[in-house]
Structure 1
C-alpha cells in the first residue's frame, strides 16, 4: 500500500531524509575507499617483484596470522558493539581497547619468543624471524591503540578518514619493504616487520591527528551493558576469525614456507577485489543497514540489503567467469617472469578468482547479520563451528590432493555454507517483521538478489569464449612469459584480450538492459535529492 506525500508524518519524513543521507554517506565512503585502495595496491605491487617465495610465505602467512589474531581479540567485539549502540554513554568503552591490546600483544610476544627462542638449541635460532615476529607484535599494539579514533570515525560514518590512514600506511609500508629488501636481502623477514611497524605508526598518527579535536576523552564511568556486548561479540566471533584465517592456519601447519609463499602471491592478487571493492562495500553496508534497522525502516532496509548483495554478486561473478582465464598474463605483467612462469601460482590465482564470488556473497550477507539481527547470535556461533569442523576435516585432504588450489576450493565451500546460514537468518528476521513464513521470505530474497538469468548465461558464455582463446595461447606455450617481439604471441594475446573486453561489455550491457529495476534502485541510493 503506497502513502502519499501529504499524508506522510513528520517523523517518517525525517527518517526518510536521514536514511537517504546515510545511504549517500555510505556510498561516498565506499567510492572514496575504492580510489585509495587502488593507490595502495599500486604501492604494494612495487614490492612483489622483489620477494623471495620463502620470505613471502613466512611474512604473509605466519606473521600476518599473528598480527590479525592480536587485532581481532583486541578490537572486533568493540566495533560490533559500538556501531550498534550509538549513545554517548557508551563511548568510554572504546578506550578499553588500549589496555586490552596491550595485554593481547604482550601475550603474543611472549608466545612468539618462547616458540622461536626456546623450542630448539641455540644454534637453531633464526634471529631474522625472531626479530620480525617481535616487530609484528609491536606493530599490532600500535595499530590496536588507534582503535578509539577508528571507532570515532565509524560512529560518524566518516569512512574516508580511516581509508586515507590505510592508504598512507600502505604507501609507507611499500616504500619500507622495497628499501628493506634492498639492504637486508630478498630473503629477509625483518624487512617485512619494519615495514609493518611503519604502516602502524603512519596509520595511528594520521587517525589521531585528524580526530584529536573532536575525539571525546575518557572518564571513569563505563557502560556495563556495552562492555558485556563487546565481550560477547568477541567470543561469538572466535569461530569467524578461525574460519577467516583457516587457510593460514592450515598452511602454517601442513605446508613449507615456499608453498606458503606461492599461496600468498595468489592471495595478494586474488584478494584484490575483496580488498579494494568488497571490503569497503561490506563495512559501509553494515553501518547503513544497522541504522536503517534502528529507524525501523524495514522496507528500505530490505531494498538496500538486496541492492548490496546483487552488486557484489555482479562483481564477484565477473572475476569468477572472466578474470579466471587471465591469471598467467596478469602474473607476467605485474609480478615478472619468475612468477609468470610459475604454473602453480597461476592455478592458485585462478582459484582465488572463483573464490571471489563466494567471498562476495558471504561478506555482504554476514554484514546484514552482524549489523541488523540481534537474535540468533548463538546460532551464528554454532554455524561457524559446523563450518570450522568441515574445514578441519577437508583441508588436509584438499591440500594433499590440490596443494594450495585445493585449500581455496575448501574455502569456497565454507563461504557457501556461511552464506546459506546468513540468508536463513535474514529471511527469519524479515519473516518476523512481516508475519510471513521464513521459507516464503527466503524465496523472495533469493529471487530479488540473484542476477538476471540472461546475465548469468552471458557470464557462462564469457567463460567459454575466454577459455577458448586462452587454450590457443597455451597450445603454443606462450602463456608463461611476455614475448612482445613475437608477432604470433602479440596476435594471440591481443585476440585473447579483445575477447575478454568484448565479453565484459556484453555482460554489463545485458545487466543494464535486463535488470532495470536494480539499476533504478541503485541510482536512488546515490542520486542527490533536492527534497
Structure 2
C-alpha cells in the first residue's frame, strides 16, 4: 500500500510538473511580448529602478511565506488520526485546517515586513534617483499593497498545494499573469505622454495579486465545502492518541507545532537564501549606477527565462515529490538525522539522477549555442540600442551560469525535503559563509577588476558552485546512511554529446559576428537561421548518444518504466 501511495504521488507530481511547465511557457510568452513593447519606451535607468521595486516586493513575499510553504509541504504526510476518528474524514479535515491556519501566519508576517522594507528602501534612495523616476514613492506603496493582497491568497494556496491541485494553480497564475500584462500595457499606453515612470509596473503587480486572490478564493471555497474545513482560521481540538500524554500538538489550538517549529528553524535559512538569490541586485545597487543596473537586469531577465520556464516549476514539483516520498514521521521530524527504507531511498535516488542528467543535457545545448545567439536575439527582441549597451556580452556570460542554476535548484529541493532541524541549521550556517564568499568575489570583480554586469555573473557562479558542493556532500551522506550509493558518472552527458557541444560552439562562433558588429533586422534573422541550421544536427547527435536514457525517461513519463536490478 505505501508503494502504491508513493507511485500515486509520483505520478501526480510528474503531471503537476508538466502542467506547471506548460503554464510557465504560456504565461511567460504573454509576459515576454508585453515586456518587449515596454522595453522600446523604457530607459536603462527606469528598468534599474523597477528591478529594485521588484526586489522589495519579492523580499516581502519571500520572508513572509517561504519557510512556511516548505514546512507545510512536509506536514501533509504526517498522521493526525486517532482511533476514534474517521480515517478518511476527520484526518483529512484536520490536516487541511492545520494548513489553512498556518497560511494566515504569512499574512501576519507580511504586513509589518511591507512597512519595514518600504521604510528601509525609501531611506536608501538619493535625491537624484527620486527626481529621475516619477511616481517612485507612489509605486512603492502600490507594490506594498500588491504583496499583502497576494499573501491573502496563501491560506487557500497551501491547502491546494497539499492536495496536489496543480490545475487550480495553473488557472490562478495564468489568469493573474494575463491580467498583469493587460493592466501594465494599458497603463503604459495611457501614460505614454505623461512621464509616469515605473507606475505601470506597480499597477500590473497589484492586478496580479488580485487575480491570484480571486481564483484561489473561489476554488478554495469549493474544496472547503467538499472536505469540511474552513478558509478562515479555526481552532483544532482533536489530537492523535500518541500525543495525548505529551505537550499540546497545536500551539494556541491553531498551529501544528512540529510544522511551526520546522518553519521557525528554516526562517534563518530563508533569510540567507534570499540574500543570496537576490544578492546580485543588492550588490549591483551598492557598487554600480542605475544604468548598469538596468543593463544587468535585462540580461538577467532573458538569461533566467529558461530557469523560470522549466527549472522553477520542476524544482517546486520535485520538492513536493521528495517530501512525500521521504517525509519523516512527526516523532523524528526534529531529530539530528533521518533514515528511510532502502526501497524508497532507491526510488528517490533514481528520480534525482534522472532530473540532474536531464538538466545537464539541456544545459549542454544552452552553453553550446547561447553565447553566439545572444547578440542577434537581443537585438531582435529588445532593439539594437540594448544589444550595443553591453547586455549582449552579459547575456552570453549568463548562459554558462544556467547549468549551475539548474543543478542547484534540484539539489536544494532534495535537501529541503529530507533535512532535519539540525541539518537545516548547519546548512544555514554554511550559506552564511557562502554569502561572505559571494560578497568578496563581487567586490573583487566589480571594484578591482571593473567587470561590471559580467562580474556579477561570475560572483553568482562562484556562490552557486559553493552551494552545489554542500548539497552534493549532504545528498551523498544521506543516501549512504540509507544504504544507497550515488554515482556522479550516471548524471553526466556522454563523451559523444560533450564533444558535439564543443564542436558546435566553435562552429557557431564563426557563423555569428561579434556583439560590436552593427547589423540590421534582416541580418539578425539570417544569423538566427544559421544557428537553427547548426542546432538540428547537434540535437540529433546528442539524442542518439543518449537514446537509452531518453527512452527510459519517456517510459517513466508514460508510467511504463521497467524495474532494473
Same fold, TM exceeding 0.5? yes
Report if the CA contact (8 A) 2:500-2:542 is conserved.
no
- The 2-side partners of 1:303 and 1:206 are apart by 36
Name the structure 2 match of 1:349: 395
- The 2-side partners of 1:152 and 1:187 are apart by 39
Name the structure 2 match of 1:421: 470
Aligned partner (choices 73, 81, 84) of residue 74 of structure 2: 84
Aligned partner (choices 432, 445, 463) of residue 385 of structure 1: 432
Does residue 302 of structure 2 align to residue 269 of structure 1? yes
Shift of 1:336: 1.8
Name the structure 2 match of 1:480: 518
**SS of residue paired to 1:212:** helix
The structure with the greater share of residues assigned to helix is: 1
- The 2-side partners of 1:333 and 1:432 are apart by 52
**Partner deviation per Cα, 1:223-244 (whole Å, 9 max, x = no partner):** 1222121121122221111100
Aligned partner (choices 520, 525, 529) of residue 556 of structure 2: 525
- The 1-side partners of 2:3 and 2:161 are apart by 25
Does residue 493 of structure 2 align to residue 451 of structure 1? yes
- The 1-side partners of 2:222 and 2:465 are apart by 44
Report if the CA contact (8 A) 2:27-2:178 is conserved.
no
**Partner deviation per Cα, 1:98-117 (whole Å, 9 max, x = no partner):** 2221222232334345555x
**SS of residue paired to 1:219:** coil
Shift of 1:382: 2.2
Does residue 440 of structure 2 align to residue 402 of structure 1? no
Cα pair distance change 1:480/1:275, threshold 3 Å: farther
Cα pair distance change 1:530/1:236, threshold 3 Å: closer
- The 1-side partners of 2:376 and 2:41 are apart by 19
- The 1-side partners of 2:321 and 2:30 are apart by 26
Does residue 307 of structure 2 align to residue 307 of structure 1? no
Name the structure 2 match of 1:149: 156
Name the structure 2 match of 1:175: 182
**Partner deviation per Cα, 1:310-336 (whole Å, 9 max, x = no partner):** 112222232222122111111221112
Name the structure 2 match of 1:328: 375
Does residue 473 of structure 2 align to residue 431 of structure 1? no
Name the structure 2 match of 1:98: 107
RMSD of aligned C-alpha atoms? Answer: 2.7
**SS of residue paired to 1:292:** helix
Report if the CA contact (8 A) 1:32-1:160 is conserved.
no
Name the structure 1 match of 2:331: none
User: Which deviates further from its counterpart, 101-110 or 184-193?
Assistant: 184-193
Report if the CA contact (8 A) 2:285-2:293 is conserved.
yes
| TM-score, normalised via structure 2 length | 0.82
Name the structure 2 match of 1:7: none
- The 2-side partners of 1:317 and 1:523 are apart by 20
**SS of residue paired to 2:401:** helix
**SS of residue paired to 2:396:** helix
**Partner deviation per Cα, 1:197-223 (whole Å, 9 max, x = no partner):** 122222222222222211442213221
- The 2-side partners of 1:173 and 1:322 are apart by 32
Name the structure 1 match of 2:417: 371
Report if the CA contact (8 A) 1:43-1:174 is conserved.
yes
Name the structure 2 match of 1:298: 345
**SS of residue paired to 2:223:** coil
- The 2-side partners of 1:22 and 1:197 are apart by 30
> How many corresponding residue pairs?
499
**SS of residue paired to 1:480:** coil
Name the structure 1 match of 2:404: 358
Cα pair distance change 1:152/1:449, threshold 3 Å: same
User: Which deviates further from its counterpart, 139-148 or 37-46?
Assistant: 37-46
Shift of 1:480: 3.4
Does residue 64 of structure 2 align to residue 74 of structure 1? yes
User: Which deviates further from its counterpart, 45-54 or 503-512?
Assistant: 503-512
| TM-score, normalised via structure 1 length | 0.87
Report if the CA contact (8 A) 1:71-1:144 is conserved.
yes
Name the structure 1 match of 2:250: none
Name the structure 2 match of 1:5: none
- The 2-side partners of 1:279 and 1:152 are apart by 20
Name stretches of at least 5 consecutive residues in structure 2 with no aligned partner.
79-93, 236-253, 328-339
Name the structure 1 match of 2:528: 497
**SS of residue paired to 1:354:** coil
Report if the CA contact (8 A) 2:318-2:413 is conserved.
yes
Name the structure 1 match of 2:259: 226
- The 2-side partners of 1:405 and 1:125 are apart by 26
**SS of residue paired to 1:395:** helix
Cα pair distance change 1:34/1:432, threshold 3 Å: farther
Cα pair distance change 1:158/1:41, threshold 3 Å: farther
Name the structure 2 match of 1:338: 385
- The 2-side partners of 1:42 and 1:305 are apart by 34
**SS of residue paired to 1:357:** helix
Aligned partner (choices 95, 101, 109) of residue 118 of structure 2: 109
Cα pair distance change 1:410/1:144, threshold 3 Å: same
- The 2-side partners of 1:237 and 1:452 are apart by 36
